[in-house]
Amino acid sequence: MRTAGAGPRVVSLVPSLTEAVAVSAPGVLVGATEWCTHPAGLDVARIGGTKNPDVAAITALRPDLVLANEEENRAPDLAALRAAGLDVLVTEIRTLDQGLRELERVLAACGAPRRPRWLTEAEAAWEAVTPVGPVTAVVPIWRRPWMVLGSDTFAGDLLARLGVRNAYEEHPERYPRIPLDELRAIAPDLLVLPDEPYRFTANDGPEAFPGTAAALVDGRLLTWYGPSLAEAPRALSWELTRALRAASR
């Protein structure tokens, strides 16, 4: 629960930022979305989803600051919050370097007392990463219809640092819809299947690409910018390497 004198009152519309603020500036969050699942047991008001926040509920919380992201949240919702007189900080995070800078900015705005250890550990972990490639991958994020990572994405940048080239990194769209036959025709070295936003599993996803190495990865490690960045290089490298080795047997 929030304690007196804990700093500004903050509402977060971004799960990654919710986790980062909750562990780095305890007590400042007064509201978060239903999708803000980390840290576990976060005791704040729930104000709808990332794409459909309850503007009236947010306003009633009297926040000093609302945290948002240009990809996660819709411009009309952010405009409505500003029209209600609220201060909205909008982040743009499409690379790891951008993410680290924006996290510094967000935590400073939220009154974090010091630079959190996890942020320093994340920087060090990514600087020391050993690439698993070079390999080419297709990275589906949805099926029915099939959608994949395209150009200019945070997840794509993380994979590139791990030696994994996204087959659609030069596509004009960031999350293009691609027919399954076209995806199969690329014959990638690897299929990277996160468990969010679509929950791919061992029985839902790999079967569509017979004979292709498939790495099932924690979507939080691939797409969230926050404390999970410290463990992401090691955990993702392990899963990608395991999938490639299994396919080569």
**Strand-pair partners of 99:** none
Q: Is the pTM of this model over 0.75?
A: yes
Please report, as a single letter, which amino acid is at residue 239.
E
**Domain 128-248 top-level CATH class:** alpha beta
Q: What is the pLDDT along the chain (249 residues), one digit of tens a residue?
A: 455 445 799 999 999 999 999 999 999 999 999 999 999 999 999 999 999 999 999 999 999 999 999 999 999 999 999 999 999 999 999 999 999 999 999 999 999 999 999 999 999 999 999 999 899 999 999 999 999 999 999 999 999 999 999 999 999 999 999 999 999 999 999 999 999 999 999 999 999 999 999 999 999 999 999 999 999 999 999 999 999 998 776
CB 169 within 8 A of CB 146: no
Nearest to 91 by CA among 64, 120, 71: 71
| Fold of the domain spanning 10-115 | Rossmann fold (3.40.50)
List the alpha helices (DSSP H) in 128-211: 154-161, 180-186
Do 10-115 and 128-248 share a fold?
yes
Query: Where are the domains positioned within the chain?
Result: 10-115, 128-248
Cα–Cα distance, 128 to 211 (Å, whole number)? 32
